[in-house]
Amino acid sequence: MTNDFIFDLQEVSCAHQGTTVLGPLSLQIRAGSRVAILGANGSGKTTLLRLLDALHYPHSGVASAFGQRIDEASFADDEVNFAFRRRVGLVFQNPDVQLFNPTVFDELAFGPLQLGWPRERILAAVEDSLARLRITHLRQRAPHRLSGGEKKRVALASVLIMEPEVLLLDEPTAALDPESQGEILRFLTEGQGSGRTIVTSTHDLHLVEGIAEHVIVLGAGKLVAQGTPAEILGNEALLRATHLIHSHWHRHADGEVHEHDHLHAHSHVHAAPSITLATSATPYRPLQRSRP
């Protein structure tokens, strides 16, 4: 394994209750890279992220992170487990799974307290994280009473406060309104993302160019393709075969990608771009439906 690969998976498969749901697949993730795991529902994205977070162990094959095997024997050692958890943070798709403290403040302070940070450092880090994610006003609120978008931001803050080298995000914008989606994405792509390895699972093609420079496509638990966002998003046959697009989707030569209502005319010209894939030069804009 080359040292600049944080994750190295060789012919790894994962099973749930005796049924293989992921793999066998081989892939490597480079330190500092931003990777999107693209796949339809049930394709194995969450299982792969949980494997990368050492919440699942391979059923067969060899998985390693930072040169350390991800398997039951290695993680039975508290020191290995603890060191890994300081370096890797997973934000779950459903924030309700992640949030369990009585207040937002406690939620953010929980991890640092576990790590034994001094009180002053914890207080400063909590205030900083609250401000960065614009949730300072929620400090004393009960997490389970917040809106979906607020919960996502609290869950993200509770992971980021630990300053993990690797951030694993499971469908970070799922079930969010467009404004919250945009805010979370801007947050991830501006500043906070720099230097960090970020692996994001999604089935939303509009996110891909904004969050990744490398894309892994899963289909029925198998690694179907990988490449740059332009290569993957330009491969309509692949996207169709993996159920990532449907018959009303298309991409224009200028990179514009969008969906149409059923009665959309086949031949058309867009007066103004309705949806533009985010790139480093174009800010993320949520999906809107264009009219025929």
List residues near ligand ADP by CB under 6 A: 16-17, 21, 39, 41-47
Residue 86 Cβ, how far from ligand ADP at the closest point, in Å?
Answer: 25
Distance CA 61, CA 81 (A): 20
Residue (46 or 181) nearer to ligand ADP, CB: 46
State in angstroms the smallest separation of the CB of 62 from ligand ADP: 20
| CB of residue 13 to ligand ADP, shortest distance in Å | 12
Contacts of 170 (CB under 8 A, 6+ apart): 45, 46, 49, 90, 91, 92, 93, 201
**CA atoms of 231 and 224, how far apart (whole Å):** 13
Minimum distance, C-beta of residue 114 to ligand ADP, in the bound complex (Å): 26
Contact 192, 260 (CB under 8 A): no
Cβ-based nearer residue to ligand ADP, 43 or 197: 43
Q: Which is nearer to ligand ADP, 16 or 119 (CB)?
A: 16
Closer by beta carbon to ligand ADP, 41 or else 194: 41
The encoded tokens of residue 77 equal 């050692």
Query: DSSP string spanning 62-92?
Result: EEEETTEE-SHHHHTSHHHHHHHHHHEEEE-
Q: What is the DSSP letter of 194?
A: T
Q: Which is nearer to ligand ADP, 170 or 209 (CB)?
A: 170
From the CB of 16, what's the least distance to ligand ADP, in Å?
A: 3
Nearer to ligand ADP, 44 or 95 (CB): 44
**Counting beta carbons within 10 angstroms of the beta carbon of residue 103, is it exposed (0 to 12), middle (13 to 18) or buried (19 or more)?**
middle
How far apart are CB 165 and ligand ADP at their closest, in Å? 23
d(CA 248, CA 287): 14
